[in-house]
């Protein structure tokens, strides 16, 4: 005990020691409850199907695009499909809320709904495309790709959100990590969707028209509204 006391005294007197500093910013209790709920949702899904999460990763990154693989994964999901999406919506909004609390830029609080816009925008775009073209069956797999992409984003954001809440000093690295995660998964989603479209013999200029009008243009408008 005496040695421990001497060590702590030396640590507190050292300018290079790891000294705990009092937290300057406190969050509402609902932030902790929301994070715990998100972890609980993922744990519940994990209990229902041990191979579900790895199956989503495999369909999106490892295996070639296959309707059979997607049908098998979606049948495994069942009702948990919506639980995974609920986890994304919950943890992503908490993540944006924490970033807004730590940044010095003045942004309206409705920015916390930005993750929901990023999810519903491609979904609605695909539904509109299927409505005008009558090709819902061909676009159904693209809708599944979008859903799986944001399910995985929700999983990756959980540890980042926990770190951001416990240690705000990592704000800048986590901010860059969050942007990189969204950019990476968006590129993967667009690549897999374009590959599937080409496999179904959809002309490449239709793909470019879709990307410019229903993917890039809405994001540009959103950027002008929020900046």
Q: How far apart are CA 179 and CA 127, in angstroms?
A: 26
pLDDT of res. 6: 47
Residue 8's pLDDT band, with cuts at 50, 70 and 90, is: very low
Residue 133 near residue 219, CB atoms below 8 Å: no
pLDDT at residue 19 above 70? Answer: no
* Domain coverage including residue 68: 20-226
pLDDT range class, residue 3, cuts 50, 70, 90: very low
Confidence grade of residue 223 (pLDDT, cut at 50, 70, 90): low
Taking Cα atoms as reference points, which of 99, 126, 120, 85 lies closest to residue 210? 126
Chain centroid to Cα 191, Å, comes to 17
The answer as to whether 3 is a domain residue is: no
| pLDDT tens, residue by residue, 166-211 | 888 888 999 999 999 999 988 888 888 777 777 777 776 666 766 6
Residue 8 lies in a domain: no
pLDDT band for position 86 (cuts 50, 70, 90)? very high
The answer to whether residue 219 sits within a structural domain is yes
Convert the pLDDT of each residue in 30-57 to its tens digit. Answer: 888 999 999 999 888 888 777 777 777 7
Can you read off the two tokens belonging to residue 57?
Answer: 């990763």
Kindly state whether residue 1 falls inside one of the protein's structural domains. Answer: no
Q: Whose CA is closest to 59, among 124, 142, 123?
A: 142
CB contact at 8 A, 141 and 59: no
38 in any annotated domain: yes
In the chain, the number of structural domains is: 1
- Is position 193 within any domain? yes
């Amino acid at each position: 005990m005496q040695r421990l006391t001497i060590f702590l005294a030396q640590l507190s007197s050292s300018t290079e020691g790891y000294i705990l500093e009092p937290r300057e910013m406190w969050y509402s209790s609902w932030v902790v409850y929301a994070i715990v709920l998100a972890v609980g949702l993922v744990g519940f899904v994990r209990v229902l199907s041990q191979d579900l999460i790895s199956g989503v990763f495999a369909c999106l990154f490892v295996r070639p695009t296959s309707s059979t693989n997607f049908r098998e994964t979606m049948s495994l999901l069942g009702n948990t499909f919506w639980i995974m999406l609920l986890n994304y919506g919950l943890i992503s909004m908490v993540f944006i809320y924490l970033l807004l609390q730590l940044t010095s830029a003045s942004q309206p609080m409705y920015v916390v709904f930005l993750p929901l816009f990023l999810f519903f925008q491609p979904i609605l775009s695909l539904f509109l495309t299927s409505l005008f073209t009558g090709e819902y069956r061909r676009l159904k797999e693209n809708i599944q790709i979008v859903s799986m992409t944001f399910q995985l984003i929700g999983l990756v954001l959980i540890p980042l959100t926990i770190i951001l809440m416990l240690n705000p000093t990592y704000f800048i690295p986590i901010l860059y990590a969050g942007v990189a995660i969204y950019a990476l998964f968006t590129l993967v989603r667009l690549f897999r969707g374009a590959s599937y479209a080409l496999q179904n013999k959809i002309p490449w200029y239709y793909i470019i028209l879709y990307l410019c009008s229903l993917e890039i243009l809405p994001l540009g408008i959103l950027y002008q509204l929020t900046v």
